């Protein structure tokens, strides 16, 4: 297992996807989404002058293309090195298909001038791929729970909630509803604002669900610390706690700074990181790994995420 490359490639894929999501948020926050008005070229060329909004938009495209190539390489390595768990290779092919569809939606958002539902779907597909890549990174790594716990369903549910909240956040962004409630923690000076239009409804729902997600994630963390002794699992739980608190703070900062580029972009990155952390946590605690793992049986001895 230690000489195999595909587990490391899965981890690189996760990091690359997080970078791509961060750049996508910067593109929107800087108003660069249509800096390149055509696709897949930018003003008819693949090497435009990298300045202003074009820099962010074209850089985002280049990183997206690099991710496709990186995951194709990862799929090749998995196909070459995995002999027993062929479902991992099949999941890789599903990931390639997901990436291609997501890339197509990226192009369509430009061609059709950023329709809300299409832009939101673009981000939802990106988060779906991140979840798949993280699951594969976890499933092919050495670390894992050392005792049977009931953490996995809780972590998986938390990941689902974060995914829904992130998609709702994308809808807030693409509906230009980020300042529908221009104050925080109140909304239009009230605990429950007058829900008189779609931007206010979507924005307020996003805030309410954020509190639900935060409380649920903290509950997951408490359950992990109370039932699991594995250091990697406990560290992931601690990271989830830090990320969810940071995410709430960035949400408030985004509003109070009138959607400044830094807090808005970090808000997306932290949401993606929290999702990946919870997916990894769910995968790690879904099986039991022997306390003293042996490499003698090859890839079959590995059941969860990185150590």
- How many angstroms separate the CA atoms of 16 and 69, rounded? 11
Q: What are 272's two structure tokens? A: 């993606």
- What does the pLDDT look like over 259-290, one tens digit per residue? 999 999 999 999 999 999 999 999 998 865 44
Query: Cβ–Cβ contacts within 10 Å for residue 4, how many?
Result: 17
How confident is the model at residue 84, as a pLDDT? 84
pLDDT, tens digit, 9 for 90 and up, residues 92-143:
999 999 999 999 999 999 999 999 999 999 999 999 999 999 999 999 987 6
**In sequence order, which residues have a C-beta less than 8 Å from that of residue 93 and are 6 or more positions away?**
75
Round to whole Å and give the CA distance between 5 and 70: 13
Residue 39: its pLDDT value, please?
94
User: Residue 249 gets which letter from DSSP?
Assistant: H
Q: How far apart are CA 154 and CA 214, in angstroms?
A: 13
Which pLDDT score, from 0 to 100, does residue 148 have?
Answer: 54
Residue 181, pLDDT > 80, answer: yes
pLDDT at 301 over 60: no
Which stretches does DSSP call E strand in 110-261?
none
Instruction: Tell me the average pLDDT of the chain.
Output: 90
pLDDT recorded at residue 147: 55
Taking each helix axis as running N to C, give the angle between helix 52-81 and helix 6-29, from 0 to 180 degrees, rounded to the nearest 10: 160
Mind listing the pLDDT tens digit for each residue in 34-71? Answer: 999 999 999 999 999 999 999 999 999 999 999 999 99
Q: Which pLDDT value is given to residue 149? A: 65
pLDDT at 286: 86
**pLDDT for position 2:** 56
Phi and psi at residue 178, in whole multiples of 5°? -60, -30
Cα–Cα dist 211/213, whole Å: 5
Residue 299 confidence (pLDDT): 37
Q: Where are the domains of the chain?
A: 1-140, 144-290+302-307
Can you tell me the distance from the alpha carbon of 303 to that of 282, in angstroms, rounded to the nearest whole number? 12
Contact 286, 154 (CB under 8 A): no
Quote the pLDDT of residue 4.
Answer: 87
Tell me, what's the pLDDT at 51? 94
Higher-confidence residue of 3 and 258: namely: 258
157-179 residue pLDDT tens: 999 999 999 999 999 999 999 99
Measuring CA to CA, how many Å separate 280 from each of 183, 211, 284? 35, 22, 6
Spatial distance between the Cα atoms of 217 and 242, rounded to a whole number of angstroms: 10
d(CA 129, CA 20): 12
Taking the alpha carbons at both ends of the chain, their separation in whole angstroms is 12
User: Is 186 or 144 the better-scoring residue by pLDDT?
Assistant: 186
Residue 26 token pair: 């910067």
pLDDT tens digits along 214-250:
999 999 999 998 887 788 899 999 999 999 999 999 9
| Cα separation, 194 vs 168, whole angstroms | 19
Query: What pLDDT is recorded for position 307?
Result: 36
């Amino acid at each position: 297992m230690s000489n195999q490359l595909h587990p490391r490639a899965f981890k690189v894929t996760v990091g690359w996807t997080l970078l791509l999501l961060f750049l996508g948020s910067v593109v929107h926050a800087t108003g660069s989404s249509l800096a390149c008005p055509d696709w897949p070229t930018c003003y008819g060329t693949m090497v435009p002058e990298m300045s202003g909004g074009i820099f962010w938009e074209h850089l985002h495209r280049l990183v997206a293309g690099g991710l496709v190539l990186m995951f194709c390489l990862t799929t090749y390595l998995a196909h070459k090195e995995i002999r027993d768990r062929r479902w991992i290779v099949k999941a890789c092919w599903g990931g390639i298909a997901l990436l291609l569809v997501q890339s197509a939606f990226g192009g369509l958002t430009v061609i059709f001038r950023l329709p809300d539902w299409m832009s939101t779907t673009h981000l939802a597909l990106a988060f779906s791929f991140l979840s798949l890549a993280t699951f594969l990174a976890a499933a092919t790594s050495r670390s894992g729970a050392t005792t049977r716990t009931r953490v996995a369903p809780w972590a998986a549910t938390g990941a689902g909630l974060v995914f829904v909240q992130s998609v709702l956040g994308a809808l807030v962004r693409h509906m230009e509803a980020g300042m529908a409630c221009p104050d925080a923690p109140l909304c239009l000076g009230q605990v429950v604002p007058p829900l008189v239009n779609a931007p206010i409804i979507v924005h307020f729902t996003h805030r309410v669900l954020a509190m639900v997600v935060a409380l649920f994630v903290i509950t997951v963390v408490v359950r992990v610390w109370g039932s699991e002794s594995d250091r990697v699992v406990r560290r992931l739980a601690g990271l989830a706690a830090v990320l969810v608190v940071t995410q709430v703070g960035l949400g408030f900062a985004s509003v109070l700074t009138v959607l400044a580029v830094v807090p808005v972009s970090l808000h997306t990155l932290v949401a993606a990181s929290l999702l990946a952390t919870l997916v990894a946590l769910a995968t790690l605690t879904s099986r039991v790994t022997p306390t003293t793992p042996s490499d003698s049986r090859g890839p079959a001895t590995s059941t969860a995420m990185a150590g």
